[in-house]
């Protein structure tokens, strides 16, 4: 299993069943409150439609947090932005558990409605959109296992319920990994080593 650059550059979406919490506003703060929780849990396996399992390695967002801007949105709708790192209205940080966030919600219709939905428990999941940059695939197990070591984070999103997984880009990555494996297996060096190994086994067996 080799860690290597991702073979696709399309964005993907994942969801985790971790309910955000609503913190009361502090003195002098505007808005309906602060949403907080985890958008990603490290080393937590997620089943992607029975096709593969996937996890994010600790530190997978180090590079993107240092270089990129991110948004907090409602239901992956970039027309309903409720926070942005570049504007100081979204805080993202990595710890031992995963990617934590704090999002002071705006005093807007979307912000107030979101605060009510979180407080009532209607918002049950967090989701995020990302582009994998470095990854590995383990196809010695079934289903295959994908570990993402470096990812560009685009946005985090509040969801009413139910995991949202866009699998098309991941499937292309899996197929590319399998093509690489076939290429290695079909190489003359691999075939020679395999023949030599089989010959040694026959000698041992007499």
22-78 pLDDT, tens digit each: 876 554 567 788 999 999 999 999 888 888 899 999 999 999 999 999 999 998 899
Domain membership flag for residue 140: yes
Q: How many domains does the chain have?
A: 1
Domain membership flag for residue 171: no
Domain membership flag for residue 103: yes
Report how far Cα 44 is from the mean position of its chain's Cα atoms: 10
Domain membership flag for residue 90: yes
Q: How confident is the model at residue 169 (pLDDT cuts 50, 70, 90)?
A: very low
Q: Is 158 in contact with 118 (CB distance < 8 Å)?
A: yes
Q: How confident is the model at residue 178 (pLDDT cuts 50, 70, 90)?
A: low
The C-alpha atoms of residue 97 and residue 81 are separated, in whole angstroms, by 26
Per the model's pLDDT, the better-predicted residue between 75 and 90 turns out to be 90
Domain membership flag for residue 14: yes
* Res 177: pLDDT: 54
Please give the model's pTM, rounded to 2 decimal places: 0.75
Average pLDDT, the chain: 81
Radius of gyration of the chain (CA): 22
CA end-to-end span of the chain, whole Å? Answer: 33
* Res 159: pLDDT: 86
Name the 3-class secondary structure at 49: coil
Domain membership flag for residue 172: no
Calculate what percentage of the chain has a pLDDT beyond 90: 49
* Res 74: pLDDT: 92
Mean pLDDT of 173-198: 58
**What are the tens digits of pLDDT across the range 110-143?**
999 999 998 888 887 888 999 999 999 998 999 9
Domain membership flag for residue 25: yes
* Res 1: pLDDT: 60
The C-alpha atoms of residue 173 and residue 135 are separated, in whole angstroms, by 9
Domain membership flag for residue 74: yes
Range of the domain at 157: 8-166
CB contact set of 70 (below 8 Å; sequence gap of 6+) = 64, 84, 85, 90, 92, 153, 154, 155, 156
């Amino acid at each position: 299993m080799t860690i290597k650059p991702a073979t696709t550059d399309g964005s993907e979406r994942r969801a985790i069943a971790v309910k955000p919490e609503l913190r009361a506003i502090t003195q002098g703060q505007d808005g309906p409150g602060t949403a907080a929780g985890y958008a990603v849990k490290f080393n937590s396996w997620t089943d992607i439609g029975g096709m593969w399992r996937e996890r994010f390695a600790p530190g997978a967002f180090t590079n993107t947090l240092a270089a990129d801007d991110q948004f907090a949105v409602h239901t992956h709708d970039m027309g309903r932005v409720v926070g942005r790192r570049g504007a100081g209205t979204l805080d993202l940080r990595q710890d031992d558990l995963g990617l934590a966030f704090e999002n002071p919600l705006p005093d807007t219709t979307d912000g107030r409605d979101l605060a009510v939905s979180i407080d009532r428990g209607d918002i049950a999941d967090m989701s995020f959109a990302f582009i994998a940059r470095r990854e590995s695939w383990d196809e010695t197990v079934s289903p295959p296992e994908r570990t993402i070591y470096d990812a560009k984070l685009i946005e985090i999103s509040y969801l009413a319920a139910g995991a949202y997984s866009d699998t098309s880009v991941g499937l292309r990555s899996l197929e590319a990994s399998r093509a690489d494996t076939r290429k290695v297996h079909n190489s003359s060096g691999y075939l020679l080593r395999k023949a030599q190994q089989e010959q040694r086994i026959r000698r041992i067996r007499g």
